[in-house]
Chains A and B, each alone.
Chain A
């Protein structure tokens, strides 16, 4: 009687071990990784700093907690950070990335409060592009205002098509020759 119980225990143990092994090998993502340190992700926003009538770009870090939407937080921060070229009161309504295109929808203050000037307009677009360029899945950006596509913010910069967020550098192999 006792030996039958021992046999049953051994059989159950083998079954349980096998079952556990099968379960763990099927679902490796569920295995705990005790040595992993939590990474606190953060992003940067780019703002222009004026020096003697010229502009240089400063990267300002923005902390993002785990699980938060880094892209949205970066854009929201860009609109309110000190030295932002964006018109006062501009809010982010929505941002969606699909097929490499980030559709960024702003409130109408982007147009209503735009103070004018090709310099201001170019700084707005460039700060947006530079900030988006750190997100690997964003290739181009399309600007919307209250859900509608716009052709331009201030009648200088052409936004009628999605514009590339990354600068083709002189040394980059993919850099197109613009003329």
Chain B
């Protein structure tokens, strides 16, 4: 029946047409995806949208900029702010509704840089990685976090905060520098390599008009304070040097834009070294050999060098009449988590872990590092004291006291789990020829052991020079009786 066929064909055509018409209409009908967030993760800008968007990028010159077009996309009803710190190569980030259905994000660049765009199959996340030649900083330590639930974010439009006034509040035990700003900004405290020096970095801060020229609080804990104001507001700094290992911390006021830098005597830093209980932890041991150094056919293991130095430290401390607990005294296998556990159970005053480091490539690094956990102020003070003394005797580069979150944010197990001031000393690099030659030398091991004990003593009792001054003051009256007959003052003559 040809007519029936004709009817069927027409019906199918009409049905298909209906589907096409509907497809056209539903394709443009739903609400467009909107821009949700711009988030910096190191050198990668994450662009989040509420739905699937197509991303196109290109560069423009004079000024140099990367343009990222998102389509179809609209701006959200609420204002967004970029999260995280932009890498230094990026001067600022701008964004806006470029066309009715196109959102444009522009990165103004200071320098030419390569970049790579990645998108997820879902289409709601685009990642723009700024590549080679970009001086992206290493991981920042997480300690300097504002207590507020709504901290200041990096905002290209916001002007820098102004440091309006500073005031020292001191007692016999501590010194506190109170700083009044125009708005809340995150700051970061970082130890410097030289002795007991730290730097307080204040990005987005510029100096106000009424700051004092002399910041010295005249406090026995504080040796020198130096403010370097940056009028452009990119980064102002305060360098502070203490007379001994001191515990420094930053406090953010909950209600107002006030930051306080507190300088205290650290935990367990009273009395004498002889009164203290120290846990010495030679790294690895037994089946865990640690890092391996090779000289032709001869092999040297980290576990053996760590033990040799640790035993010398033990003997020196026992000679000082201090109490010592060892996590191992021979080549036995000790569980990683049992090491800090032992120190916690003993209620020790200090935990000292001794290691040698190694890098992925031989001879790529050299020197001494002392690690403390995260931004623990007491651990940092102990690390500074030990690093100061050990780095002075190794004859190798001083890599400074460093947070164990310098590379990886969770830090080291033994430091994180120790309840007392704790450090992990990486004496030198076992996969560096020069460092390894020293590590194997018993004389070098002895020098390092003596320096570790000297650092511990400096933390507890203060630095030698400072102690001599104190001793003179204390000794004179006590010895004056005997000396009176022999030594006469000019007035008596």
Contact = CB atoms under 8 A, between A and B. Distances in A.
A117 to B, nearest CB: 3
A42 B153 CA distance: 29
Nearest to B302: A116
Interface residues of A, number: 82
B118 A134 contact: yes
Contact of B129 (A39, A61, A178): A61
B126 to A, nearest CB: 10
A32 B20 CA distance: 8
A160 to B, nearest CB: 7
Contacts of A25: 22, 26
Interface in B326-378: 336-337, 355-361, 364-367, 371, 373-376
Contact of A171 (B153, B357, B365): B153
B43 interface: yes
Nearest to A35: B27
B150 interface: yes
Given A53-B364, A157-B408, A157-B412, A116 B186 contact: no
Interface string B162-178: 00000000000000000
Interface string A140-153: 00000000000110
A67 B165 CA distance: 59
B31 interface: no
Contacts of A152: 336, 413
A120 interface: yes
B291 A33 contact: no
Contact of A55 (B8, B147, B407, B413): B407
A51 B72 CA distance: 42
B409 A167 contact: yes
Given A41-B118, A55-B407, A136-B120, A120 B359 contact: yes
Interface string A148-172: 0001101111101001101111111
A120 B140 contact: no
A113 to B, nearest CB: 11
Contacts, number: 271
Interface stretch (B312-320, B424-432, B442-450, B467-475): B424-432
B118 A116 contact: no
Contacts of A97: none
Interface residues of B, number: 105
Nearest to A152: B336
A70 B23 contact: no
Given A155-B288, A155-B336, A157-B410, A5 B149 contact: no
Contacts of B153: 171
A120 B360 contact: yes
B136 interface: yes
A179 B375 contact: yes
Interface of B: 3, 7-8, 10-12, 14-19, 22-23, 26-27, 40-44, 46, 54-55, 83-85, 116-121, 123-125, 127, 129-132, 135-140, 142-145, 147, 149-154, 186, 188, 283-284, 288-292, 302, 336-337, 355-361, 364-367, 371, 373-376, 397, 399, 405-414, 416-417, 424, 426, 429-431
Given A31-B27, A167-B42, A167-B142, 17 more contacts: A9-B7, A17-B18, A24-B19, A59-B44, A66-B121, A70-B120, A116-B290, A118-B426, A123-B407, A135-B120, A136-B125, A169-B41, A169-B84, A170-B188, A171-B152, A178-B374, A178-B405
